C-alpha cells in the first residue's frame, strides 16, 4: 500500500525541439548525481519507450527539477518517472489512461531499483491511497480514506539505499508473524474505508520491516514515541526509510508533532527536514503549458 503527498514532489519539463532525438538538457536539485544519459535516467526511459511504441519521431528536450530528496523512502525515482510519463502523454496528445501510463512509469522505476514494483509509482500516478493486489497482471486498487487525514513526514539527513534496506529483510517469516501482519493490513484497509481512526492506529504496527529497518534510523524510537504522544494515530517508516511518517486526524496534531520533535532533537546530532501534507487526491498535474 502507498499514498501520495501534496509535497514534496518533482517538476519535469518536456518541450519539443528540432530533430528526432531526445536529450536531457538540465537537472537541478540533485547535486550532480543524476545521469544525463537518456538510457539511465528514470525520467527519460519511459519517454523513450512511449516514443517507440507509438511511432513518435520528434525531438524532445527534458528538464528535471528534483525536489523529492534522494534515498529518503518517499519515492524520489518514482516522482520523476511519473512526472515525465504524464508530461509526455500530454505533449504528444496520446490520451492514455493512468492504467496505460503505469507500465511506462514502471520502466523508469526499474532503472533506479532494478526491479518492477509499483508501491511508489501507483500512488504517485493515481493519487490517494492505493493497494497493489498483485503483479501478474498488475492490479491497482483505489482505497477511500478520511478527508481529514494529514501526514507528517520527518526526513532525517541521511540516506538509506532501497536495495540495502531490502537485503536486511528476512527471506522467510514465521506463520504467527505473518498472521499478525495480514491482520493489520486488513485492519488498515477497513479503518480507512470506515473512517475509523482508532482502527487505523491499531493496524499500523509493522511486524516485518520496521523492527529491522528502524535500527538504521537514528533516534527512531524517540521520534515515534513523540509522534504518538502528540496526536499521531499511527507512525512508521516510509518505504525503506529513513523518512518517518505519522498519520493524524487534522492539521493541528500534525503541527504539534513537528514542534515536539524539533524541541526534543535540538540538542542531538541529527539534522532533519519535515513536511506536513494532506493526501494528494489527483496525482501528477500540469503546472503550465507554453
How many angstroms separate the CA atoms of 43 and 109, rounded? 9
How many angstroms separate the CA atoms of 48 and 88, rounded? 10
Exactly one of 109, 130, 152, 248 is catalytic; name it.
Answer: 109
Q: At what angle do helices 220-229 and 251-265 cross, to 10 degrees?
A: 140
Q: Given the DSSP bridges, would you call strands 149-156 and 22-28 parallel, antiparallel or unpaired? A: unpaired
Exactly one of 130, 162, 210, 248 is catalytic; name it.
Answer: 162
130 is a catalytic site residue: no
Annotate the chain with three-state secondary structure: CEECECCCCCEEEEEEECCCCEEEEEEECCCCCCCCCCCCCCCHHHHHHHHHHCCCCCEEEEEEECCCCCCCCCCHHHHHHHHHHHHHHHHCCCCCCHHHHHHHHHHHHHHHHCCCCCCCHHHHHHCCEEEEEEECCEEEEEECCCCCEEEEEEEECCCCCHHHHHHCCCCCCCHHHHHHHHHHHHHHHHHHHHCCHHHHHHCCCCCCCHHHHHHHCCCHHHHHHHHHHCCEEEEEECCCCCCEEEEEECHHHHHHHHHHHHHHHCCCCCCEEEEEEEECCCCCCCCCCC
In this structure, what C-alpha cell is assigned to residue 78? 518514482
152 is a catalytic site residue: no
Where in the sequence numbering do the catalytic residues fall?
109, 162
Amino acid at each position: 500500500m502507498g499514498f501520495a503527498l501534496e509535497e514534496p514532489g518533482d517538476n519535469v519539463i518536456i518541450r519539443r525541439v528540432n530533430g528526432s532525438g531526445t536529450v536531457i538538457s538540465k537537472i537541478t536539485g540533485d547535486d550532480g548525481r543524476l545521469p544525463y544519459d537518456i538510457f539511465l535516467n528514470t525520467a527519460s526511459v519511459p519517454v523513450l519507450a512511449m516514443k517507440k511504441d507509438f511511432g513518435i519521431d520528434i525531438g524532445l528536450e527534458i528538464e528535471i527539477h528534483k525536489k523529492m530528496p534522494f534515498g529518503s523512502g518517499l519515492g524520489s525515482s518514482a516522482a520523476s518517472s511519473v512526472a515525465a510519463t504524464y508530461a509526455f502523454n500530454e505533449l504528444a496528445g496520446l490520451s492514455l489512461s493512468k492504467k496505460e501510463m503505469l507500465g511506462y512509469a514502471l520502466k523508469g522505476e526499474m532503472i533506479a531499483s532494478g526491479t518492477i514494483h509499483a508501491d511508489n509509482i501507483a500512488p504517485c500516478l493515481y493519487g490517494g491511497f492505493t493497494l497493489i493486489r498483485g503483479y501478474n497482471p498488475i492490479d491497482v486498487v483505489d482505497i477511500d480514506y478520511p478527508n481529514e487525514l494529514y501526514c507528517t513526514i520527518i526526513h532525517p539527513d541521511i540516506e538509506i539505499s532501497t536495495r540495502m534496506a531490502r537485503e536486511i529483510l528476512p527471506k522467510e517469516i514465521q506463520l504467527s508473524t505473518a498472521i499478525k501482519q495480514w491482520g493489520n493490513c486488513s485492519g488498515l484497509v477497513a479503518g480507512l474505508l470506515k473512517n475509523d481512526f482508532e482502527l487505523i492506529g491499531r493496524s499500523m504496527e509493522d511486524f516485518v520491516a520496521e523492527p529491522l529497518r528502524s535500527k538504521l534510523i537514528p533516534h527512531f524510537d524517540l521520534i515515534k514515541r513523540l509522534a504518538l504522544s502528540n496526536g499521531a494515530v499511527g507512525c512508521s517508516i516510509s518505504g525503506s526509510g529513513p523518512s518517518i511518517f505519522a498519520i493524524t486526524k487534522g492539521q493541528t496534531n500534525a503541527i504539534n508533532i513537528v514542534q515536539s520533535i524539533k524541541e526534543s532533537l535540538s540538542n542531538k546530532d541529527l539534522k532533519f527536514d519535515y513536511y506536513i501534507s494532506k493526501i494528494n487526491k489527483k496525482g501528477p498535474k500540469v503546472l503550465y503549458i507554453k
